[in-house]
Structure 1
Amino acid sequence: MRGALLDAAEWLLARRGAESLTLRDVARRAGVSHAAPYHHFAGLAELLAALAERSFAQLGAAMQAGVDAHPGDARAQLVAIAAAYVEFAQHRPARFRLMFGAALASRQRHPGLQRTADAAFRVLLDAATRFDPAAGPLLALSGWSLAHGVSHLALDGAFTGLPLDGPLPDAATLVRLMSERLL
């Protein structure tokens, strides 16, 4: 039932955002009693943390797939990680905002969430360290900042209407081009 509740929460989150999500609505969507979620989650904050944990696991898997697609080429791995990050945000905007939003800013309260978020970051850190052992952590933070910034700017529509000479590529292509030129 925990999985069904998370599926229901994910569906509702995509349509309403975290601010209007309630456990009662999640229970209704999952087809269970309004008390059922409390058998699996202490409250809404714990359910949102579990949903964010699931999301970080999926983001980490997408980033790892980028690494696996380019064995032995750390530069290409970093570019693929950045593109996977932006694509995740573009395809799951509500989940992306939840993962990095104020509601879960204190991840220490949710050890599973912290571990899963750290594991996703470790994919980037390991690739950055393979690319440049001396500057791996700094490169990982820079790459994350680039991908995260492009993701948020794209989600917020900040690229729309810029006075450019030509059309702007989609966000994933943009971060791929930026990463290739910076590396």
Structure 2
Amino acid sequence: MSDQKKDHKDLREECVRQETIFQGRLLRLNRDSVRLPNGVETTREVIYHPGAVAIVAREGDELLLVRQYRYALERETLEIPAGKLEPGETPEACAQRELREETGYQGKLTYLGRFYSTPGFSNELIYLFGAEDLVWAPLTADDDEFLGVERMPWEAAIHKALQGEFQDAKTTLGILMQAGKTRD
């Protein structure tokens, strides 16, 4: 084995101490002390998140998107519908609930995959689904959620994703994953 390649076990960091800095209704922030593979101790700041879903919802040749104000960015974004998992909720149930709350539709779900949004400092895992055969079945949106539903031609959405025009990673990845599945 070359010197540049390391056994996976050699890369592991061992937690020495955990300190919760903040516990909110959505996430927990820890500052942990860890021992590196070379024995040196350092700190890691980690955001623990309950997980989320995102849905690529298509009605015919149109993609349903939601426009909403994102406080952390101080601007509106255009995204695929998404939301966090509730305790004990399956990703499929969450996807159907979020789709109904955010767009008013429910549909046949197809699992596309999952990914970690920002593994350098968070454990947030997002499950991606495609949704087709949509039927109107609205649920009341969350009290703190204000958004508008927009439609975009599917081919235009793929083009925007390929050009990096969506500023939201789950939206870009979801569109490209769905496009890859439909072209197989």
Q: Indicate whether the TM-score tops 0.5.
A: no
Q: Which has the larger radius of gyration?
A: 2
TM-score by length of 2: 0.25
- Choose between structure 1 and 2: higher strand proportion: 2
TM-score by length of 1: 0.25
